[in-house]
């Protein structure tokens, strides 16, 4: 006999994870866009604008991590990177 409460719980957890995943993808698009603008600024040799854009992208990703990181870690789905901070331990500029 199937344990209906078990499968209902699995379905609910999967649904919650899917909703979180979609929110993260949607909100991270903004950080990606700003990071691309930083690349274009570097190609124009505009270092100051690139620094500002990278800082904005990093702040957006840090905000996502604060809002979604603990939730994902609690469910064992969080992926950790190496180094310190969003962009690693070495400064980009």
- pLDDT averaged over consecutive 10-residue blocks of the chain (93 residues)? 84 92 91 95 96 95 87 53 43 43
Q: How far apart are the C-alpha atoms of 60 and 28, rounded to whole Å?
A: 7
Range of the domain at 46: 24-68
pLDDT value, residue 46:
96
Evaluated on CA atoms 64, 69, 72, 78, the torsion sign reads positive
Residue 57 within any structural domain of the chain: yes
Q: What Rg, from alpha-carbon coordinates, does the chain have?
A: 18
Residue 84 within any structural domain of the chain: no
Report pTM: 0.61
Residue 62 within any structural domain of the chain: yes
Residue 88 within any structural domain of the chain: no
C-alpha to C-alpha distances, 5 to 10, 18, 62, 76, nearest whole angstrom: 9, 20, 36, 21
Q: What is the total count of domains within the chain?
A: 1
Contact 30, 61 (CB under 8 A): no
């Amino acid at each position: 006999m199937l344990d209906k409460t078990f499968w209902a719980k699995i379905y609910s957890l999967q649904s919650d994870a899917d909703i979180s995943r979609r929110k993260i993808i949607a909100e991270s698009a903004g950080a990606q866009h700003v990071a691309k603008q930083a690349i274009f600024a570097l190609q124009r040799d505009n270092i100051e604008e690139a620094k500002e854009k990278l800082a904005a992208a990093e702040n957006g990703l840090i905000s996502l991590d604060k809002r979604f990181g603990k939730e994902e870690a609690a469910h064992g789905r969080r992926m950790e990177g190496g180094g310190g901070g969003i962009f690693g331990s070495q400064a980009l500029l």
